[in-house]
Amino acid sequence: MNIKDIAKKCNLSVATISRVINNDPKVADSTRKKVLSVIDKYKFVPNITGRSLRTQKSNKILVLLPTMSNQFYSEIIQGIEETAEEKGYAILVAVTNLQEHQEIKYLHMLRMKHVDGCISLFNTIDAESISSLAKTYPFVQCCEPTMGADVSSVEINNRQAVYDVVNQFIQKGHKTIGMISGDYYKTSELGRETGYKEALRDNGLVFEKSLLVKNFYRYEDGAIGAKKIMAHNPKPTAIVCASDSLALGATSYLKSEGYTVGKDICVMGFDNTAITTYTSPTISSIGQPRYDLGKESFKLLYEKLENINSTNKKIILPYEIIHRESTGCSK
């Protein structure tokens, strides 16, 4: 059942059917009624591939995710989705699992015009490729802009967030502070680690390599990281983590070793995911405005969708530091 069939049933041309489908005002009311009833009767749905081929647009955008196993992304996607829907765009999510060939495969959907634009939550390909991609296709990076790439992006000031936290710790009297970070989200990690180092430096403390451990973002990496950091002499009294999962893993390890987290040692998480209030101790965290991160990303993408030559923008959104039980202690 295609447009031609409907045209036959109606004794009209395909052009008229097309006009009805697309709400063209210059079609007689009686004609429109007849066509709609036939469309309804046969449950006709216009073939979007034919339409895409003709109009050269799909009204779909791609959201590229590094992994699905991160609570953090869900609200960002909701922000994108709800903003996109207002403008008539559906969103499609693809997961790269951090594999470059997957990333390339899905980015081809842009070049192949199967989607009109892409919001990427993470990229492995180099800055130059990103820049050239963004020049030709509507493309926006969210949370993890590739360093040195000329592209629109939305993120928080990761450096400043950790700087503030470490600074607070030092004000409260902490002298030995560790950090557990990850090892693949290059941009945010560098920012967070830089904030850590700069806060130490600005307070006259020296950065020690053995107090900064980097690995993945699984709970167990938090535990492993905490173990390494606690082997340091003197023992740290505070640990900043690059995610809540790391903070939770660290807390779990510290408790098993007899420390009272929030009293003997402070632990700070990142992203303020729902879990933080349901553990004991509850986990302090740095919150990102997830919904708005998604929303602003789509708005930037929409500017590119309307005019690919519009200038690239870099948007920085505010973060918040939320103190819970895990940072109850001063030293």
For a second copy, the binding residues (CB under 8 A) are 45-50, 52-53, 58, 67-69, 71, 73-75, 77-78, 81, 90-95, 97, 105-106, 108-109, 111-114, 218-219, 223, 248-249, 252, 255, 274-275, 277-280
Residue 131 has, within 13 A of its CA and on its CB side, a CA count of 7
CB of 39 closer than 8 Å to CB of 6: yes
Question: Which residues here bind DNA, judged by CB under 7 A?
Answer: 2-4, 11-19, 21-22, 25-32, 46-47, 49-51, 53-56
Q: Pick from a second copy, DNA, none: which does 304 bind, CB < 5 to 8 A by kind?
A: none
Please state, as a whole number, how many other Cβ atoms lie within 10 Å of the Cβ of residue 131. 16
Nearer to a second copy, 114 or 227 (CB): 114
Q: Which amino acid belongs to residue 126?
A: D
The least distance separating a second copy from the CB of residue 112, rounded to whole angstroms, comes to: 4
Compute φ and ψ for 44, nearest 5 degrees.
-70, 135
Give yes or no for a contact between 144 and 155, defined as CB atoms under 8 angstroms apart: yes
Closer residue to a second copy, CB minimum distance, 114 or 228: 114
- Cα four-point dihedral sign 175, 189, 153, 129: positive
- Considering CB distances under 5 to 8 angstroms, the limit depending on partner class, which of DNA, a second copy, none binds residue 18? DNA
Least Cβ distance, residue 9 to DNA (angstroms): 12
Q: What, of a second copy, DNA, none, does residue 87 touch, CB below 5 to 8 Å by kind? A: none
Q: H-helix or E-strand containing 329?
A: none
Compare residues 55 and 171 and give the one whose CB is closer to a second copy: 55
Residue 318 φ/ψ, nearest 5 degrees: -75, 150
